[in-house]
Structure 1
Amino acid sequence: MTLDDALQTFLAEGGELLEEMEAALLSIDAGGDDGEAVNAIFRAAHTIKGSAGLFGIDHVVAFTHVAESVLDSVRLGRLALDGALVALLLACRDHIGALLAGVQSRGVADDPALSALGAPLVARLQSYLDEQPAAPPAAAPPQPQPPQPEEGADNWHISLRFGAEVLRNGMDPMSFLRYLGTFGRIVTLLTLERELPPLAELDPEVCHLGFEIAFRGAASRAQIDGVFDFVRDDCRIRIVPPRSKIEEYVRLLSEEPERHQMLGEVLLRAGTLTEAELAAVLREQAAAAAPQPIGAMLVEQGIVAPPVVEAALARQNQVREAKTLEGSSIRVDAAKLDHLINLVGELIITTASANLIARRARHPEFQECSSTLSALVEEVRNSALQLRMVKIGATFGRFQRVVHDVARELGKDIGLVISGEDTELDKTVVEKIGDPLTHLVRNAMDHGIEAVDVRLARGKPAQGTIGLHAYHDSGTIVMEVRDDGGGLKRERILAKAIERGLVEAGRSLGDDEIYGLIFEPGFSTAEQVTNLSGRGVGMDVVKRNITALRGSVGVASVEGAGTTVTVRLPLTLAIINGFQVGVGKSVFVVPLDMVEECVEFSAVAGHDYADLRGAILPFIRLRQLFDVGGAASARQSIVVVKYAGQRAGIVVDTLLGESQTVIKPLGKIFQRLDCISGSSILGSGEVALILDVPALIRASHQDGARAGQAGAAAEPAAEADMRYMGGAASDALRGNGALGAH
């Protein structure tokens, strides 16, 4: 991996850490348990700072260090994490994101403009650090003090043995002890004379001294170990940290970035071991006849306390598990994934062509091979599409921040409730639905949720609720944005529409039609304009963007109780299971997930609706709708489709069966065709149009509403029973596998 690749990986992981940081801050603001959340926030900031330091991105390190210091004070209980501090840390999170975005676009050099934007945040963070009390205030009356431990309990313990050649090499052992004293205070110095020979045998140039030292000071283990750098090869030194600091080492181990798996490396990274100590223990382990585990040797020799070894072993296991999980997934560039889907689409078209040739050739072995190939291609298609499926939860989770910020701006108390986070859909759809959902949520907060005093006066809870819900239905994903606010005012909307000439005075409209008027360009009933909404700009864009995704949007509302906006979108924009039908020589495709059944065509005389087992079924004739030439077949069929709880029939000449359908976008000239959502290429090379089922259902219900009412008022002159398909049409369906699917 090149340095540039590593930097891109850091930036991607930095974005994920910032998302985790935001989610943890919002959970604290919502009143969640802040213990683990604070640790998660601190770890995110700490990891970003450390990784930025590796790449020399000093301005990111400098800013994140201040935020990390405040978080450390929160974690240690010196600062209370209230709403104001949460808001400040969220702003800091945004600024870190801006800094990382700057690195992405301009490189690692500092941007003075961004640094200037961060200066006020640094000043506010510093004010929290400056206000910290020297010692935490007593929360209770003074209690009797427990007996004080022995003096050495808070001291470093240094076990020092100089080698025999130290003096000959020009080194004075006492000079090292005096240098150690510059880092703190030598509380106790015990000289060991057991190694001294009798005076008559004493060689003045040979050192036999050893010391046990109790040392107190603010120096780190590495600094203490560095005192003896010049006699590293001529002495043996063991440094035992103060017993009162064991918990601190355990905490440091738990927060170590997940980079090391070896126990010695974990302890070395946390500062519990020095490199010289680790090397010495490893040498002893290698030389032993029956090597002990390194952890046992460290404890046995008194180098590391048992609790620290236990914590390091636990961390080692966590890292191993994390590495195992990392090994089970890889990052794939989105462009490569899109290219794979395109290739799979071309493979499907080519396979359909091969199937057609096999049927025409009437060669049994060729047909069998072609059928096997089709099954394999279908599995490849399903697997490839699954790679692009992502959970909607990540998109929904971002609205925690939207609700938090907008509620503060509006001065309202609003909570967010999410369900269906595990519902999956194509990543392309996810990328394009974020902005419409954001507008719907902000609009609901501004115009839907009432102020606290108004809610209390109406007998509602002080806190308003925005709900985001997702679920699958008939091959689509349904997303609902609900609020428990004041609801839409039906009469005011109708009056405004009549005033603007959108609706004729005296015309009778249903609730769906009236509420749908809010999606008209420039339409608004707001009494005053705010920074968020009220200008009538946005809801029409929401509908246009959703329609561009082959989706639909609807509104249901109860005045005084709240409003629900329902968005329906296809699960994927690439490849679908389709059901092919023929009208004359033209072939159309109906999304298979919306097909309920196929029945023989039989209509109430003189009307465009049929009797489907006692229920009125409005239908639409494709031949008339698209002005297809030629005479209708002697035996027509009705494809019964369902969308958003509504049924309709599509009258066709022939049923051609199921097929894998690669969706091809229509050219700009054809994009606004009614009742057509796309096109596909058949195995013969011809183009088949994909039907827009929601639009067809709307058209059939509008055309059949008056006829249905008239038909219900009078007995039909002649009525034929609707029955399931039989004869040749039924055989054709079975041959294509259609009946088996329904």
Structure 2
Amino acid sequence: MHTQDDDDEIIAAARAGFLDEALEMLAQFEQALLVMESQPEDHENLNAAFRAAHTIKGSAGLFGFDAVVAFTHEAETLLEVLRSGQRKVDEHVAAALLESRDLIEALLDEVRTGQTQTGLAERSASLGARLRALMPGSTSATTATGSPTAAAVAVAEEVTEGPRPWQVSLRFGADALRNGLDPLAFLRYLATRGTAMQCTTLVDGVPALEALDPEGCCLGFEVRLMTEEGRRTIEDVFSFCLDDCDLVIVGPDDGPAAWQELLERRHADADGQASLLALWADQGVSLPLRRLDAEAAAALQPASGVDGSGSDTPAGGALAVERRAEPAGGDRRAPPRDRRSGAAEETRFIRVRADKLDRLIDLIGELVIASSGAQLVAQTEQSPRFAEAALRIHDLVQEARDGALGLRMVPIGETFARFNRVVRDVSKQLAKDVELIITGGDTELDKSMVETIADPLMHLVRNSLDHGIESAEDRVAVGKPAQGKLALHAYHESGAINIEVSDDGRGLNRDKILAKALERGLIAADAALSDEEIYGLIFAPGFSTADAVTNLSGRGVGMDVVKRNIESLRGQIRIASTPGHGATMQIRLPLTLAIIDGFLTSVGGVSYVMPLELVAECLEVPHECIEDPERVSGHFDLRGEVLPYLDLCRFYRHQPAATGTRRSLVLVRDGASRVGLIVDRLHGEHQTVIKPLGQVFQHIKGLAGSTILGSGEVALILDVPALLDLATGQRRAALAALSRHS
């Protein structure tokens, strides 16, 4: 049985869907405004901004969020004036509209939390007044010749001198409810545009109970609306349901022909027309109609109330909004029409809750483990048929795994796009001219990682704007263009994603960083550090070389958090800088945090897994690595190239393998760097479900997580970048100690 709780759940789900959609529309609104500010003649972006604002207003109206509707209407009105050509886009207009975007977001936050924000109503009223002040005067709608433009006339049609009567004739199609439309919501929204003097529900289309379709809509409405708004505003109320209704609007200036056309559109028979005429008369319509038979004409008696037109009203047809009308009769249980189909097939989307998707990924992970167990049993039983079935299951699980992980992949361009606004606002605050260049926006990354990486990227962008890029005067003085460049670039490489934040500013001051590190005791006075290691000192907690504290930076808070957040994603950050020519911050992240293809090895009876895409080749242990059995790390010669190695058995303090045991070296790479990892045995490829380590094991270096093998044994996942840093770091420490003793 349908209950009130069911209704509340449906409304809550619809409300959550509206809020999600509104945030997407706000992002589109902001992006269009930013382009509009730099390219004021681009009408497509202006139209895109208007559509986004209109969609937010319309959806908010359906849910009765009056504060959102009222303010968004102010912004929409200014955008309509810009579209009409009555006002040009300038810095003041762009700034006010961007502030409007922020205020709409704040109003939506009120809806989401249910808590009123202090001073928000005052901000809304103040900014609304600013928007109205940016409107042109009554004389600005004319051209230099004194005649109004066509676009200006279209806007002027919306201006009236007081409430006037409109007739809204609405018939919903049978599929309206199936397609998620609530007729009552549209009528409530219509009431916000004026005063509904009369609203009559028509039930003549409702069939007998035994023929009633519980999911079908059989209702129609005749509404007498008093409003100061124009026809376009009334039409906009129903813009979301035009595919599922037949809407006709008769205005106060439409003549008898318009009413006659509507009457014949609604009813072909005399009885139906007479009934509708009587209804209109009850609603206060007094209008002589032509071409009616005597019975129909008699039904329309003069009525007291608002006169829809006078005898001197010019004849003219109704400016009806014709949409798909529901055919008379027919099977009301016919499947709903696909509203998203067309001549060109469009991509179809469905919203899925993130926790449901995470649960699916978890189940796929357990399926991967179970599949590995089945393969292990098949090998133990030595049954060809069993082995073939297990292999088939393995292939299907792998395909399901790739498909499930693909559901969580989103283009990082959505994250990059938000920095257009950041660069614009911070540049103006710092009085700098900066161009943002975005490339690789279609590179996909796990959505959970995108959400985590947004804040570190924000901090890096702000640092580049504040510390990296010089003022226009300083740039010109050193022979650079006055406009600085900030670039965001993303690309895939070796099974990972690289995100680069680079600028063409002054670069990092190596000597200043080194001096500050010595002052704070972060390094020894005789330490031999490479440029990259010196640049990496800026990630120390509280480290800052800024001469003054600003609202943007200078307190040394943030860069250590940036590194910590990136490392929590099993990623790493590197810095490259050329004094006077800029700096590049490179973030390297795995594609996903859930399931990876791994390479299984064992050391001292413990299983270790390393990401398969990082494995370059497997070799017999070179003689340089076995000359000193007690050495943890060192270097070896690989075809004329000297590379570092790390003995995992010694590093993790396992029991050494028996003398004479053949061991192997796995060459792994991280970007351009390579390191050899010495292991006891190689077991080959293995699908790896990544599980986090417990707090007890968080301090162990070089581990990224754990996994469960098909046998039920726990294996440890190696953090290859961290091991590479450890290997190269130990080598440099040994070389430094050797140089000190010599």
Could you state the TM-score of these two structures normalised by the residue count of structure 2? 0.73
Match in the other structure for 1:164: none
2:61, 2:737 → 1: CA distance?
Answer: 78
Separation in 1 of the partners of 2:418 and 2:472? 25
Matches within 5 A, 1:188-587: 257-261=239-243, 265=246, 277=261, 280-281=264-265, 303=317, 321=341, 328-587=348-607
1:395 deviates by 0.5
* 1:371-407 Cα deviation digits (max 9, x unpaired): 1111111111111000011110101011111111111
8 Å CA contact 2:375, 2:387 repeated in 1: yes
- Alpha-carbon distance in structure 1 between the residues aligned to 2:109 and 2:737: 64
Q: CA deviation at 1:252?
A: 10
Q: Is the 8 A contact 1:417 1:466 kept in 2?
A: yes
Preserved contact between residue 252 and residue 270 of structure 1 (Cα < 8 Å): no
How far did 1:449 drift? 0.8
CA distance in 1, matches of 2:570, 2:139: 63
Q: Distance in 1 between matches of 2:502 and 2:690?
A: 32
Aligned partners of 1:682, 1:405: CA distance in 2, in Å? 51
- Determine the C-alpha separation between the residues in 1 that align with 2:669 and 2:237: 54
Shift of residue 613 of structure 1?
Answer: 2.1
CA distance in 2, matches of 1:259, 1:420: 38
Deviations, residues 260-307 of structure 1 (Å, cap 9, x unaligned): 237x8376699999797356247669xxxxxxxxxxxxxxx995799x
- Flag structure 2 segments of 5+ consecutive residues without an equivalent: 1-6, 150-155, 158-162, 166-192, 201-229, 270-314, 326-336, 629-633
Residues 1:136 and 2:140 are matched in the alignment: yes
Q: Which residue of structure 1 lines up, in the alignment, with residue 209 of structure 2? A: none
Q: How does 1:521-670 map to 2 (within 5 A)?
A: 521-604=541-624, 606=627, 608-632=634-658, 634-670=661-697
- Tell whether the 8 Å contact from 2:243 to 2:324 is kept in structure 1 after alignment: no
- Secondary structure at 1:136 match in 2: helix
Residue deviations 1:19-38, cap 9 Å, x none?
Answer: 11001011112336431111
Unpaired segments ≥5 residues, structure 1 = 147-153, 156-181, 185-221, 230-247, 286-300, 712-742
Matched, 1:85 2:93: yes
Q: Distance in 2 between matches of 1:425 and 1:341?
A: 15
Task: Identify if the C-alpha distance between structure 1 residues 252 and 320 changes in structure 2 by more than 3 Å, giving closer, same or farther.
Answer: farther
Matched, 1:671 2:653: no
Per residue, is there more helix in 1 or in 2? Answer: 1
Task: Using the TM superposition, give the Cα deviation of residue 543 of structure 1 relative to its aligned residue in structure 2, in angstroms.
Answer: 0.6
Q: 1:563 to 1:275 in 2, by over 3 A?
A: farther
> How many Å separate the matches in 1 of 2:28 and 2:237?
16
Does the aligned pair in 1 maintain the 2:261–2:318 contact within 8 Å? no
Letter of the structure 1 residue corresponding to residue 25 of structure 2 = L
CA distance 1:31–1:459, change in 2 (3 Å): farther
Q: 2:51 aligns with which of 43, 59, 75?
A: 43
For the pair 1:94 / 2:102, whether they are aligned, the reply is yes
Task: Tell whether the 8 Å contact from 1:43 to 1:255 is kept in structure 2 after alignment.
Answer: no
634-643 vs 275-284, greater mean Cα deviation = 275-284
Q: Which letter maps to 1:690?
A: I
Q: Decide whether aligned partners of structure 1 residues 517 and 274 sit closer, same or farther in structure 2, where only a CA change above 3 A counts.
A: farther
Q: Distance in 2 between matches of 1:274 and 1:339?
A: 58
Aligned mates of 2:403, 2:110 — CA distance in 1: 37
Residue 551 of structure 2 aligns to a residue whose secondary structure is: coil
Letter in 1 for 2:728: H
Asked if the contact 1:421–1:470 (Cα under 8 Å) also holds between the matched residues in 2, the reply is yes
Aligned residue pairs, count: 598
**How many percent of aligned residue pairs carry the same amino acid?**
47
Change in 2 beyond 3 A, CA 1:320/1:512: closer
Structure 1 stretch 624-633 or stretch 90-99: which is displaced more? 624-633
Coordinate RMSD, CA, aligned: 3.9
Max Rg structure: 1
Whole-angstrom CA distance in 1 between matches of 2:653 and 2:260: 88
Q: Secondary structure at the match of 2:450?
A: helix
Deviations 1:34-85 (A, max 9, x none): 3111112122222222222222221112111222222221111222221222
Q: Sort the Cα spacing of 1:115 and 1:323 in 2 relative to 1 into closer, same or farther, 3 A.
A: farther
Task: For residues 406-445 of structure 1, give each alpha carbon's deviation from its aligned partner in whole angstroms, at most 9, with x where no partner exists.
Answer: 1111111112110000101111111100110000000110
Of 4, 14, 17 in structure 2, the residue corresponding to residue 6 of structure 1 is 14
Deviation at 1:365, TM superposition (A): 1.4
Amino acid corresponding to residue 280 of structure 1 in structure 2: E
Counterpart-to-counterpart distance in 2, 1:679 and 1:275? 75
Kept in 2, the 8 Å contact 1:616–1:708? The answer is no
Does the CA contact (< 8 Å) of 2:250 and 2:259 recur in 1? no
Q: Is the CA contact 2:340–2:346 (under 8 Å) kept in the aligned structure 1?
A: no
Query: What is the match of residue 740 of structure 1?
Result: none
Counterpart CA distance in 1 for 2:680 and 2:251 is 76
Change (3 A) 1:125 1:386: same
C-alpha distance in structure 2 between counterparts of 1:487 and 1:92, whole Å: 36
Shift of 1:8: 1.9
Contact 1:25/1:37, CA 8 A, preserved across alignment: yes
- Is 2:727 aligned against 1:700? yes
Cα displacement (A) at 1:4? 2.4
